Amino acid sequence: MRSLTRRSFLRSAALWGLGITTSQALTACLRQVVVEKVIEKQVTKVVKEVVRETVIVETTPRVIEKTIEVEKTVEIEKLVTAIPALKDRVLITADVMNYSWTHFAMLKSAAFEELFPNIALKWRSLSGWHEYPRVVETLNASGQSGDLLEGPPGDLLAHWADRKFIRPLDEIISAEGFDASGIFWSMLASCRYRGQRIGLPYIGNAGENILLYNRRLFDEANLTRPNLSSTLDDLTKMGIALTRDRDGDGKSDQFGLALRFGLPSAYPTLHLFGAKLFSENSRECALNTPAGIEYLRWVHEQIHVHKLAPVPPQVEGSAVEMLRSGTVAMLRHSFRTFATLSASGERREIGATLFPKHPISGRVGTLASGLAYCIGQRSAIPSEVFQWCKFMSSREMGVQMFLGGYADPGCRSASWEDPRVLELYPLCAQVAGVADTAEVERLPWNLRLAECLDVWNRGIIPLAFDECTPEECASQITQEINKVLALSPEQKETLWPR
């Protein structure tokens, strides 16, 4: 048996600590809701919930967008006569995940059922992120798939569309006359597969493109804090100035910047340099290009030339914990992480702005990211299900979802720029300014994305350990990804997520 050397152990630990899976990108800083049993709304419960709060009403059920912001208190006498018995109502079966946004949806289903008295929702098969794709696959295999599904735009929805688990929405959208122009264009684009729209977003953002920084460290060093005019060159200068050997042992123990170079979290900085992982036809790796090598060189320089960023084994716990403790001064992460830190009472300590732009091109790093609802292929009530999708994608639902602490402020600029949201987080206006045109990452033609990301995450480790040049790293990753892209899309088992 080959012995486990210190180098191989550190390499394995670094690989584990990168945040290598798509599931971690989605579930970071999100609260998981434990649901002990299936929830079915009863008429008496609906009455009580609606009477307790101000609910949304409308006169014409098909015009949700114009009525969603109008609030009216509904009296119980009117409500009782308006809602049919549960057995006489159309039942939407929702097979979704059990995270905080689902809890919000459950709370708001009473308002939706008041808008549409002939529709009720049944929440079924609530599961965690890792189990969810397999639950959906099992339900489809047994012919028991639900009406409503959800997922992040990208390879999962593409797999479902390819296997006929979900149906295209173009015909329904056209029949409904639904105007999606207020939804982030980037999210709409990322919900397309082979020219068809396969999901309707209800949460959207620009990816992990927020620069978090420790205010105290900047103030102690008498440095100007990062802002919208900052560039990558400014970031490097600030990082060098904030790197310290505080105990005098000749080694840095306070770092100016922590790097997140594992995919999918690294997509925004990859895009900042104008680089893509896949070619336009998605049949070749596009990393071994001037833009791709420039990105890898930047990563290498921060760690080994300027020595302002820790190598993977120097990351203690997590980069976020190091930021909070003052071991790291700056970190690229998500808006949701900033909101979570602020909610925990650290708003005065941690500041945030958009991640600095490229010093020459002025490009800002982004990635279209979020969640979308889909309609099951076997659903016999697609029009009714689409009413729920529209309801949750509205401006007001986005605002309420955020104000309640359940998720980002929806999928519309109007939600992110709502005065109630900006009063709490002015940063949301900056996010909305770039989220509408955030970049959409290309998918491999054979949808073997998990294997391609695995190649990247293993191939970039030697660069982090200074065992190869950026050019060698780009060449090696490109060769290995091209091997994956040469494979057939057929596979014996589901590769997503790993």
Domain harbouring 386, CATH code? 3.40.190.10
DSSP letter assigned to residue 93: E
**What pLDDT sits at residue 316?**
83
- Asked, for residue 419, whether it belongs to a domain, the answer is yes
List, run by run, the mean pLDDT of 10-residue segments along the chain (498 residues). Answer: 41 44 40 35 34 31 30 36 61 94 95 95 89 94 95 93 96 94 95 95 97 96 96 98 84 91 96 96 97 98 96 88 94 94 78 97 96 97 97 97 95 97 96 95 94 97 97 98 92 45
Parent domain of 199: 33-127+146-206+370-435
Total domain count, the chain: 1
**What pLDDT sits at residue 64?**
28
- Asked, for residue 223, whether it belongs to a domain, the answer is no
Collect all residues with Cβ–Cβ distance below 8 Å to 63 and sequence separation of at least 6.
Answer: none
**What pLDDT sits at residue 206?**
96
**What pLDDT sits at residue 491?**
60
**What pLDDT sits at residue 79?**
37
Q: Tell me the torsion sign for CA atoms 58, 63, 66, 69.
A: positive
> CA-CA distances (angstroms) from residue 38 to 34, 125, 127, 186, 209?
11, 8, 12, 34, 37
- Asked, for residue 248, whether it belongs to a domain, the answer is no
115 touches 86 (CB < 8 A): no
340 touches 346 (CB < 8 A): no
Separation of alpha carbons 47 and 122, rounded Å: 17
339 phi and psi angles, rounded to 5 deg: -65, -40
**What pLDDT sits at residue 246?**
77
For 86-117, letters b (16+ CB in 10 Å) and e give eeebbebbbbbbbbbbbbbbbebbbbbbbbbb
- Asked, for residue 304, whether it belongs to a domain, the answer is no
- Asked, for residue 384, whether it belongs to a domain, the answer is yes
**What pLDDT sits at residue 65?**
31
285 touches 277 (CB < 8 A): yes
Alpha helices, H only, 98-183: 100-115, 132-141, 155-162, 170-176
**Which residue has tokens 């791709």?**
292
**What pLDDT sits at residue 251?**
78
- Asked, for residue 117, whether it belongs to a domain, the answer is yes
- Asked, for residue 212, whether it belongs to a domain, the answer is no
- Asked, for residue 198, whether it belongs to a domain, the answer is yes
Query: What is the value of pTM for the model shown?
Result: 0.81
Strand pairing report for 210-214 and 350-354: antiparallel
